[in-house]
């Protein structure tokens, strides 16, 4: 099977590299993108923040795993294992949908934060 005949999803680069996922989660949970802000009056406690950060890390790790599976399936197809073309397509679609969902959730969080910052006190 020639590369020109493969769907474009198998030929293009990954949507998200491991380095960019690591910057979202933080290096082994310390010093990364999830540093907690200073304590504010009436703000949720440290346990809530740590639970949220833990859930966020878990979700990003799951998406990263789906992307790894899709990449390994893509490599198998490119290596000539044409029996798994449908599995590779399903894995790539699943990873793409999971990534799109994560981006939409991030966009909603950013939008909510911006709206809070525009509120007058």
Asked whether the beta carbons of 73 and 88 are under 8 A apart, the reply is: yes
SS3 9: helix
Dihedral angle, C-alpha 64, 88, 77, 22, nearest 10 °: -10
> Quick one: pLDDT band at residue 28, thresholds 50, 70, 90?
very low
Which H or E run contains 25?
Answer: helix 18-25
For residue 39 the two structure tokens come to 């304590």
CA 49/CA 80 separation, integer angstroms = 47
Flag whether pLDDT at 12 surpasses 60: no
Most confident of 18-22, 25-29, 63-67: 63-67
Span 56-84, pLDDT tens digits: 899 999 999 999 999 999 998 888 877 77
- Specify burial of residue 49 (Cβ count, 10 A radius: 0-12, 13-18, 19+): middle
Q: Indicate the pTM of the whole model.
A: 0.59
- Sorted by sequence, the CB contacts under 8 Å of residue 78 that are 6+ apart come out as 3, 6, 10
């Amino acid at each position: 099977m020639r590369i020109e005949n493969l769907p474009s999803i198998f030929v293009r680069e990954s949507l998200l590299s491991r380095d960019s996922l690591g910057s979202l989660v933080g290096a082994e949970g310390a010093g990364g993108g999830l540093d907690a802000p200073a304590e504010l009056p009436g703000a949720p406690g440290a346990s809530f923040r740590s639970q949220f950060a833990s859930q966020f890390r878990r979700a990003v790790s799951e998406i990263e795993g789906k992307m790894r599976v899709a990449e390994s399936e893509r490599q198998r197809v490119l290596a000539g294992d044409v029996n798994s073309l449908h599995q590779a397509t399903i894995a790539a679609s699943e990873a793409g949908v999971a990534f799109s969902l994560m981006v939409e959730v991030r966009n909603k969080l950013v939008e909510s934060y911006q709206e809070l910052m525009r509120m007058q006190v």
